[in-house]
A = this chain, B = another copy of it.
Amino acid sequence: MPPELVAAIEAIAALPGIGRRSAMRIAFELIKQGAPRVNNLSRALTQLVAAVETCARCGAYTSAPPAGERQTCPYCDSARRSSESLCVVENPSDVYAVENTGEHNGLYHVLGGVLSPLDGIGPEELQLPRLAERVKTLAAKEVIVAANPSVEGNATGHYIADMLKPAGVRVTRIATGLALGQMLDFAETQAISQSLKARVEL
């Protein structure tokens, strides 16, 4: 194979969820479609990483603001969303998984991961101190922990409960209608919807 074809197949196969055969198929299709198609794709991906940032308040993905303005997101900026309920997720992409259910009309808080002492990830490595701050500032009444259903996700939920319940905040955990180990951003919206409805007290 021409070295440029080998290099392109390797670069495509390095993307998550794409095997070598799929990568070859994509490379052959791009050769057929030529430069305009590749330029469009490159432009879309370049703009993606250039323009998409995380909200300075909640950590959700948002478009870069005009120069000089503070980074916020449509959720934090919306007057129609309740600040009484905060949904805590691990990653920015999880926000869309929850949002698609239509069950949560409050705000979000992206942790940036879950507690994992063995990997050296403690509260300070995550947005947990900032969660306590925001709950106080917003006078939130409920924190819904929508971390992935895993041992670490559950431990993180209990940590949040211990941190916030003394202040009178209701802390809930989405129900484990999802199988242990299944990733939130790949689950069916219906399953996430049910687990939100059946959330249990911590």
Contacts and interface: CB of A to CB of B under 8 A. Distances in A.
Interface of A: 1-5, 7-8, 10-12, 15-18, 21-22, 24-31, 34-35, 38-42, 44-52, 61-63, 91-93, 96, 185-186
B29 A16 contact: yes
Contacts of A34: 49
Given A2-B51, A63-B2, A38 B28 contact: no
Contacts of A26: 15-18
Given A2-B63, A16-B26, A17-B26, A45 B38 contact: yes
A29 B111 CA distance: 17
A31 B12 CA distance: 16
Residue with the highest number of chain B CB atoms closer than 10 Å, among A22, A45, A52, A92? A45
Given A2-B62, A3-B63, A52 B38 contact: no
22 contacts: A1-B96, A2-B52, A3-B63, A4-B48, A5-B48, A7-B47, A8-B47, A11-B41, A12-B44, A17-B25, A17-B26, A28-B92, A28-B185, A30-B45, A30-B48, A31-B48, A31-B61, A34-B49, A35-B49, A38-B45, A38-B46, A38-B49
